[in-house]
Amino acid sequence: MDIVILLGAPGSGKGTVAAHLSAKDATIAHLSTGDLLRGAVKAGTPAGLEAKGYMEAGELVPDTLIARLVGDYLESNGQLKTVLLDGFPRNVAQADILADLLKRMGHTLRCALMLEVSDATVTARISGRRVCPACGAVFNVNMLPPRQEGICDACGAQLITRRDDLPETVAHRLEVYREQTFPLIAYYRERDLLRTIDGEHGDVDVKCAHVLGAIR
């Protein structure tokens, strides 16, 4: 298995790009740790109960919890060819945990791909984000509006704003990103694994082409 880490601020488009690539190419899987955690919270599992408070406050959940979830996923999906990691690792301790996991399982870290986006764009994207609580589809009132306002194109459910996308929590999430996740850029650059692409311009197909260009 080849692992590609998607790096970038919340709202940089990691999830959108990964979802498009995995929908188009059956050999590419998308692991979003945020989605994994939201699923666990919704299902009320022990991991979900532990994670809920941290997530609502815009804090990172404990490294041990997220490491266990990612380890379980990789363990039970060993047949996958390429996995795009979206939202993990989120700090240097998690990057070390991932390196150990991959070594133990015999998987390869292909690269860490940074989607570069300005702060202004990130804020606009997050504040406009609406998600479908039923099927997980993601829209944006400014950039990718649903056909009918407030209604999911895919399944017809009422769209919602994620609790951690509310303005006060967004500011804190960006702070956490700058303090904890940003150092990963230097971490992967030192290991000659960092690639960067423009996450600001062009539509999702253009960005997917950039990603494929960087990982193939």
Which residues are at the interface with ligand AMP (CB under 6 A)?
A: 10, 33-34, 37, 54-55, 58-61, 66, 87-88, 90, 94, 164, 173
Question: In this chain, which residue has its C-beta nearest to ligand AMP?
Answer: 34
CA–CA dist 137, 155 (Å, integer): 9
Around Cβ 208, how many Cβ atoms within 10 Å? Answer: 19
- Least separation in angstroms between residue 11's CB and ligand AMP is 8
| Max Cα–Cα distance, the chain, nearest Å | 48
- Least separation in angstroms between residue 187's CB and ligand AMP is 14
Choosing from 110, 125, 129, 195, the catalytic residue is 129
Q: Is 188 helix (H, G, I), strand (E, B) or coil?
A: helix
- Least separation in angstroms between residue 139's CB and ligand AMP is 15
The yes-or-no answer on residue 90 being catalytic is: yes
Nearer to ligand AMP, 61 or 152 (CB): 61
Nearer to ligand AMP, 172 or 213 (CB): 172
The yes-or-no answer on residue 130 being catalytic is: no
Choosing from 110, 125, 162, 195, the catalytic residue is 162
Strand order in the sheet with 82-86: 28-32, 82-86, 2-7, 108-116, 194-198
Nearer to ligand AMP, 3 or 61 (CB): 61
What beta strand segments (E) does the chain contain? 2-7, 28-32, 82-86, 108-116, 129-131, 138-140, 194-198
Nearer to ligand AMP, 16 or 33 (CB): 33
- Least separation in angstroms between residue 148's CB and ligand AMP is 25
CA–CA dist 73, 81 (Å, integer): 14
Of 41, 121, 33, the closest CA to residue 129 belongs to 121
The yes-or-no answer on residue 129 being catalytic is: yes
Nearer to ligand AMP, 82 or 91 (CB): 91
**Residues 79/81/87/89 CA torsion (nearest 10 deg):** 80
CA–CA dist 72, 39 (Å, integer): 15
- Least separation in angstroms between residue 88's CB and ligand AMP is 4
Choosing from 38, 130, 173, 195, the catalytic residue is 173
Catalytic site positions? 14, 90, 129, 162, 173
